[in-house]
Structure 1
């Protein structure tokens, strides 16, 4: 293609890609003196593939990180030049954690490029010990199974933001759960999972297989995103209803 021809014409010393979902052809991979580098938002070899940030959040990991690696013919399997651990905070979702990881990645990339230029970089081949490959998230991954625990569902809400988003069903309509958190409710175990138990403290309290989720931002099919308080004004029958397919 035109882009490949331009790259070949300029004959760069190094090529850097980030969040690039395609494989580079051999004539590009083998062109730069220092190779093609990738800024990957995980601590490789864990979470290779297309959804490393969402997977780390969904799985409840305490930390993840960013890796600078050399591209080869595999999917995120090339040698590691540098990495940095990043703590996953309770307010991190796939949007702001991705931003954090690439900010950190940009900083260590500068160091890596400087070391490459000086010829003082240590390159470590990846091991297959602890290796895992993430799959691309699809729309179905966003559907909430209320029989799962509250903490698992809360992580799903953060992991699936912005894509594919988390959703459930109410009165034959899709309803998106935009924001939610784990809340205490003493009698929650007496309600079937997916029951909208109450509206309190500007949140809908919804029962799960283990604990309760408080939902404060919501979007009914065909409508705009609104606070739970605004939604409650026009949907008095939501409290007490049963969610799910």
Structure 2
């Protein structure tokens, strides 16, 4: 893996550099402690919390902390607990990484973190948002994102230069690529939910063109909803590129 914190194509958007750096430093610390040459995808966050990070970890009933509480970080006890009511693997993994962020980044703010923590509202919102960004960066490091995006293009026999460029365009072809190929592959390869994948992709920019976003802003909400553009139903890959194929003609002789 490269020694630098980020990749060769993407970097975090302004304001997220320190959070991304902290997440990557933690990933690298785990990799070095475990003496593995390549960071795996998906990252085994629940295992790494215990070893090599040395934080106690458990899955239990957290309803006594609040009905909506999914996870809790007990900073002084160095313990992370995750609700046994979580059934979605992506949600489970993201919650693990979110609580890890509180443990590593927010030790000076409180001894216990969970949904009902009584912090000033603006501060609580800021800390929760930073924990979400850390979780996305920890589970989907930029270096791994670049590696897996190239692998997706190879596995799907895509024209990588064309398709990776098209992803940054607010076009129907781009929307189809995101919906049909790249979002599902990112979710599967990194073990995350669609929401987490969208958050991460929206946070990335081109290194040589910082104003250019990896995922167009309009897709942030569009991709969470059912497809509407009629062309999407007839999109196919031809010669490595997405094209709209006309629907087959109706059988004029069908009685």
Bigger RCO of structures 1 and 2 (CA < 8 A, at least 6 apart):
2
How does the TM-score come out when normalised to structure 1? 0.28
More strand, by proportion: 1
Higher Rg: 1
